[in-house]
Amino acid sequence: MKFKATPYHLDLLNDLDRLSVFFEAIGEYDGNCDLAYDLGCGSGILSYFLNDYFKEIISIESQKDTFGCAKENLSCFDNIEVVNSDVLNYKFDKKADLIVCEMMDTALIDEEEVPVLNHAKKYLKEDGKIIPQGVINSAELVNMEREYIHWDENAKYEEYSKPVIYSTINFLDEINPDFEGVINFKIINDGIINGLKITTFTKLNDNIICGPTPMLNPPLLVPVEETSVKRNDFINVKIKYIMGNGIESIETSIL
């Protein structure tokens, strides 16, 4: 099936690693489930995957041009309803077996995954599931070429610590979007640090964890105060951000 898509969603469709892990996770359902919500459905590709396993799918997309693509792509399926609405304004009237929400970005900072799920999971059955199930965030100290926040595509940097897992989030839990924490790093090389590399691993379900792909949580490079370090030093970095409020909400300081 050929999908109509906006340029951005075409890039999403071309990220086959991203598509394959969602396809695999959805494929673990047995085909006897009643209702799935696809929140922020984009071009409709995940609703297309859901079609074989759920009697009813409600696919919600706020952007009009993207909604138009999804509406056309899914028009031949009687069990899929495509709705043009912001999820936060949509009047849910049924509880679902599954919520699929791929409003993902590194550490959940620059997209609406957290506010949307905190609102929508009230309409999930007691034994209902969410895909993805959650995320695991790690960070490492680096020396980076650029002096501003950026993703790591075509970026040059040198690593000065091993990765440290600093946050694990289960989407079934109520999530506080205001994150604040202190990360302790052990330095592995002499030199100068000036950045923090954040990497997010996506937990699709109990069996599938996906590392970054080009269109699914690419690593994020964040400036920190330039500091000279030596091998085996310990450095504590305080980091704050608001999930769903954009990368401009990130604050860092070396303690």
Got the DSSP string for 76-143?
A: T-TTEEEEES-GGG----S-EEEEEE----GGG-SSSHHHHHHHHGGGEEEEEEEES-EEEEEEEEEE
% of the chain with per-residue pLDDT over 70:
100
Whether pLDDT at 107 is above 90:
yes
12 vs 32: CA distance, rounded Å: 29
Strand locations in the chain, DSSP E?
33-39, 54-61, 80-84, 96-101, 124-131, 134-144, 150-151, 157-159, 164-170, 178-186, 191-205, 208-210, 220-229, 234-242, 251-254
Residue 1 confidence class, pLDDT cut points 50, 70, 90 = confident
The predicted pLDDT at position 85 comes to 98
User: What's this model's pTM, rounded to 2 decimal places?
Assistant: 0.95
73, two tokens: 């792509």
The predicted pLDDT at position 247 comes to 96
The strand pairing partners of 113, in sequence order, are none
Question: Residues with Cβ < 8 Å from 176, sequence gap 6 or more?
Answer: none
**Span 14-47, pLDDT tens digits:** 999 999 999 999 999 988 899 999 999 999 999 9
Which domains does the chain carry? Answer: 7-102 (3.40.50.150), 135-254 (2.70.160.11)
30, two tokens: 């047995």
Consecutive H or E run containing 26: helix 16-26
For range 240-244, the mean pLDDT: 98
